[in-house]
Amino acid sequence: GGPRPAPRSPTDLLGSLEDAECGPAAEDATGPRQREGLEGPSTRKSRAADQGSRGCRGLNSPGEVDRPVRAGPSRKRKHQEGMETSALHYHQTKNGPKMGRDSFLSQNVTHRDKACSWAKTRASLNLHKKKVVTDVSEVCSSHTMATSLSASLSECSNLSIMNRTNSALFSWHSSFMHLLSPLKTVHVPDRKASDAEKVYGECNQEGPIPFSSCFPIEKLEHCEKIGEGVFGEVFQTMAGQTPVALKIIAIEGSNLVNGSHQKTFEEILPEIIISKELSLLSDEACNRTEGFIGLNSVHCVQGSYPPLLLQAWDHYNSTKGSQNDRPDIFEEDQLFIILEFEFGGMDLEQMKKKLSSLATAKSILHQITASLAVAETSLNFEHRDLHWGNVLLKKTNRKELHYTLNGKTNAIPTHGLQVNIIDYTLSRVERDGIVVFCDISTDEELFTGEGDYQFEIYRLMRRENNNCWDEYHPYNNVLWLHYLTDKILNQMTFKSKCNTPAMKQMKKKLQHFHKTALNFRSATDLLCQHSLFQ
């Protein structure tokens, strides 16, 4: 610890804040150079040439901080060439050999595992596009699966996630990583059926249900499209009197959607699990945060897109423009996963000219840092894609938000806004010896972007971890916090001018954070030791 050695929402749900302080933030002359071209795109793709070298340490950081190489693991993995996707595989991550992409490991039931062996029994080994699971276990065939035991989740934990809305939604137990870890292995002819069963289990379903079961007419009538991605569409609607966001993802189909292959059951399962794990942090005792978007429910539906959803899609396309295929392309047997999240608000990029003051921006940065610190401590978490499109802001009447880190609870002034972090596509989490991460080691397109600091962050992460994405490097969270501070100082303007002594001092503190943050090892160290948060 310590310093290092030398989806969019309607504006009326946000409202205006009453801070009376600061105006546009001037550029920090000693900070990173301004990037030309892109003004904060949220896309991760670019066609420019890659300017970084793979596997290189000791790079001077964007803030021109010369940080020495740290002692620690420096393992490199030779990746197979010519594979479009990586496998969901198991290998040793501590004091054990790295296994190739086509090698798998199976977990033994050791004394350490017996107490919670129930938690690692329902999953099979899955081949999975990019998402990878690792475990301390022994080699087994890629065509094996875990045998399932009937022990109840409640036997090992009485922690449950409480519904965040007033609607009748199901509750979940404290951890779901068991779905991604094998216990015993048996040869099975059909792994895909097991993947489907696990997803249906997470949906509390025996099979797909029709759209109408998930979308009663009154819910459809209030739907408004608020965002999109290659994955699919995001709509806002009401669950009772509470706004919620619906992420709709086409799966298992053979047709390309938005230029990409549809996800499979085996690919969507880790996204569901990670979303649940981070959502559950709001109900933990020792390490608690509300900073990750709350997941209310998951459903698997089958059928054509409902006409009212198509109308909402058309309205979005006519007013804002869509890069996605109109979802009338789907047949009646198409499967979709629908994740219902709490309503998170408008993303930081859209709010870049709407915040009241630098004090508000500092609160946002503080909330993000605290959330990352809690997730680091609880789950060895790295977000790995925390651009300002993945930071949602919504109005709150709460004066303070509380987080708990290692049993100690602290408060953060909200200045009228609450932060929710979203999108765990590239994220890494670890629990009970199980690691889930996205293997982007061969995704060269991700590392070739130019024109925005965001694209440099991907290259800096790759240099930090020597392109070994299973390893835990919390410094990657620090890189994204530095990126967000850069946005606050250089690309955001504020309603109140920075002409009071208090706001001038706040600006100096943020500039100091910008200059010094890269000297810290993790978000936890920044939260606990940097002067900005003391």
What are the pLDDT digits (tens) for 496-516? 888 899 999 999 999 999 999
In a domain, 60, yes or no: no
CA angle, 123 then 129 then 130, to 5°: 100
> Average pLDDT for residues 277-291, to the nearest whole number?
98
- Domain check: are 234 and 155 in the same one? yes
Question: Do 459 and 321 belong together in one domain?
Answer: no
Q: Give the tens place of pLDDT for each residue, 56-94.
A: 333 344 444 444 333 333 333 333 333 333 323 333 333
Domain that holds residue 309: 104-344
Q: What is the pLDDT of residues 407-462, one digit of tens each?
A: 999 999 999 999 999 999 899 999 988 899 999 999 999 999 999 999 999 999 99
Residues belonging to the active site:
385
Mark whether 195 and 238 lie in a shared domain. yes
pLDDT at 258 over 80: yes
Q: Please give the pLDDT value at position 4.
A: 56
The answer on pLDDT for 243 being more than 60 is yes
Higher pLDDT, residue 185 or 334: 334
Q: What is the pLDDT of residue 485?
A: 99
Confidence of residue 215 (pLDDT cuts 50, 70, 90): confident
Residue 111 lies in a domain: yes
Q: What single-letter DSSP state applies at residue 238? A: E
On the question of pLDDT at 200 being above 60, the answer is: yes
Report the distance separating Cα 469 and Cα 480, nearest Å.
16
In a domain, 510, yes or no: yes
Pair 237, 168 in one domain: yes
497 is in an annotated binding site: no
The last residue of a domain, from among 329, 344, 359: 344
Last residue of a domain, one of 325, 344, 363: 344
The dihedral over CA atoms of 465, 467, 472, 474, expressed in degrees to the nearest 10, equals 50
Same domain as 405, residue 321? no
Token pair listed for 136: 């301390």
Tell me, yes or no, whether 275 and 407 share the same domain: no
- pLDDT exceeds 70 at position 370: yes
Contacts 24+ apart (CB under 8 A), 147-151: 147/121, 147/183, 147/184, 147/185, 147/186, 148/121, 148/122, 149/117, 149/118, 149/121, 149/122, 149/183, 151/117, 151/118, 151/121
Residue 70 lies in a domain: no
Which pair of tokens denotes residue 463? 């240099």
Which ranges in 142-250 belong to alpha helices (H)?
191-202, 211-214, 217-221
The answer to whether residues 359 and 243 belong to one domain is no
Share above pLDDT 90 across residues of the chain, in percent, rounded to a whole number: 58
pLDDT tens digit string along 218-238? 889 999 999 999 989 999 999
Amino acid at 391: V
Co-location of 197 and 277 in the same domain: yes
pTM above 0.85, yes or no: no
Quick: pLDDT tens for 41-52. 344 333 333 333
Q: Is the pLDDT of residue 39 over 80?
A: no
Q: Is 432 helix (H, G, I), strand (E, B) or coil?
A: coil
Q: Quick check: 27 pLDDT over 80?
A: no
Domain match, 259 and 141 both: yes
CA distances for 349 relative to 6, 42, 116, 352, 475, angstroms: 34, 8, 43, 5, 23
Identify the CA nearest to 359 among candidates 481, 496, 527: 496
pLDDT, mean over the chain:
75
Q: Which amino acid is at 98?
A: K
Average pLDDT on 237-259 reads 95
Q: How many domains does the chain have?
A: 2
For the stretch 130-170, pLDDT in tens is 577 776 343 233 222 222 222 232 333 333 333 333 333 34
Q: What CA–CA distance (Å, rounded) separates 371 from 376?
A: 9
